[in-house]
């Protein structure tokens, strides 16, 4: 069964002369337990797709089904948020500065009517490698990597099946990025999660995903397996260009 199915998704921003087509006739499916990547330059529409799924973009058209539930507009049921959660790019901006870790995590669980919050917070913090000692800290008392761990714990709090990851490591140092990527890989195998990850870093996508879509100007240029990417076995010149510039930049 597919966790996510999207058919002919279009997104327009603005109106009149300013009308921009941010996403143009995009279709894809993500199998349950799969890890699917969206790569492309900034402005290519990759984050917009995640935001459409999460219900953060008004006025999109097309069909999207997530875990059997058909999505409309921006409305998302509470049950939807129990199944699907999102981790944002910048952990410096995505945590409430005046709420403790405890407050952030318990609010996410209260909304889903989860009981025995006390015990679960301890387990969540252990799961993301922080430990109970971090429970009553404020975001300013945490480093960037620790904040992103809290953001991941927050997303995991309702025990979702699908995680939407919007550049989860691009604000972090390479050494911290390695820790977070390892953590995400471990969580996926332990909890059987489905990931949809947006990144401009092909190394990161190659590490965490099995399949990826290359985007340009709101369209899917090509959907291909990571193995094919490694062999440079691509059909579109744009994909080749992207791969080559990425490989050249790290050599």
- Binding segment toward other proteins, per CB under 8 A, in 61-69, 74-82, 83-91, 239-247: 239-247
- Nearer CB in complex with other proteins: 55/168: 168
DSSP 146-208: HHHHHHHHHHHTT--SEEEEESTTTTS-HHHHHHHHHHHHHHHHHHT-EEEEEES-HHHHHHH
- Nearer CB in complex with other proteins: 33/203: 203
Encoded one letter per residue, x for contact with other proteins by CB under 8 A and - for no contact, window 206-235 reads xx------------------x--xx-----
Q: Residue 239 and residue 71: Cα distance in Å, rounded?
A: 31
Q: Which residues contact 52 (CB under 8 A, 6 or more apart)?
A: 9, 11, 23, 60, 64
Q: Residue 77 and residue 54: Cα distance in Å, rounded?
A: 11
Which of 161, 104, 152 is closest to 128 using CA atoms?
152
How many chain residues interact with other proteins (CB under 8 A)?
34
Cα 204 versus chain centre, distance? 13
Q: Locate 166 and state its tokens.
A: 């919007």
Told to check if 190 binds other proteins by CB under 8 A, we report no
Residue 217: strand, helix, or coil: coil
- Binding segment toward other proteins, per CB under 8 A, in 23-31, 52-60, 64-72, 203-211: 203-211
In angstroms, give the least distance from the CB of 25 to other proteins.
23
User: How buried is residue 2: exposed, middle or buried, by Cβ count under 10 Å (0-12/13-18/19+)?
Assistant: middle
- Binding segment toward other proteins, per CB under 8 A, in 21-29, 101-109, 146-154, 180-188: 180-188
Encoded one letter per residue, x for contact with other proteins by CB under 8 A and - for no contact, window 107-146 reads -------------------------------------x--
In angstroms, give the least distance from the CB of 55 to other proteins.
27
Binding site for other proteins (CB under 8 A): 41-43, 144, 173-179, 181-182, 185, 200-204, 206-207, 226, 229-230, 241-243, 245-251
């Amino acid at each position: 069964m597919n966790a996510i199915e999207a058919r002919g998704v279009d997104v327009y921003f603005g109106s009149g002369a300013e009308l921009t087509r941010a996403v143009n006739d995009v279709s894809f499916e993500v199998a349950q337990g799969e890890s699917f990547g969206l790569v492309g330059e900034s402005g290519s529409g990759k984050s917009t797709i995640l935001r459409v799924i999460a219900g953060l973009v008004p006025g999109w058209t097309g069909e999207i089904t997530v875990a059997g539930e058909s999505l409309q507009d921006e409305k998302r049921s509470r049950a939807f948020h129990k199944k699907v959660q999102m981790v944002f790019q910048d952990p410096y901006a995505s945590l409430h500065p005046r709420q403790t870790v405890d407050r952030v995590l318990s609010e996410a669980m209260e909304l889903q009517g989860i009981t025995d919050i006390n015990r679960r917070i301890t387990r969540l913090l252990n799961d993301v490698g922080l430990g109970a000692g971090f429970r009553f800290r404020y975001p300013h008392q945490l480093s960037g990597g620790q904040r992103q761990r809290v953001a991941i714990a927050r997303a995991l709090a309702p025990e979702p099946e699908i995680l939407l990851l919007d550049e989860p490591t691009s604000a972090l140092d390479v050494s911290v990025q390695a820790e977070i990527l390892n953590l995400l890989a471990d969580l996926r195998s332990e909890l059987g999660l489905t990931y949809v990850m947006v990144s401009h870093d092909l190394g990161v996508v190659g590490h965490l995903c099995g399949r990826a879509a290359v985007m340009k100007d709101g369209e899917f240029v090509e959907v291909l397996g990571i193995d094919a990417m490694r062999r440079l076995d691509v059909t579109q010149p744009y994909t080749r260009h992207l791969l080559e510039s990425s490989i050249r930049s790290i050599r």
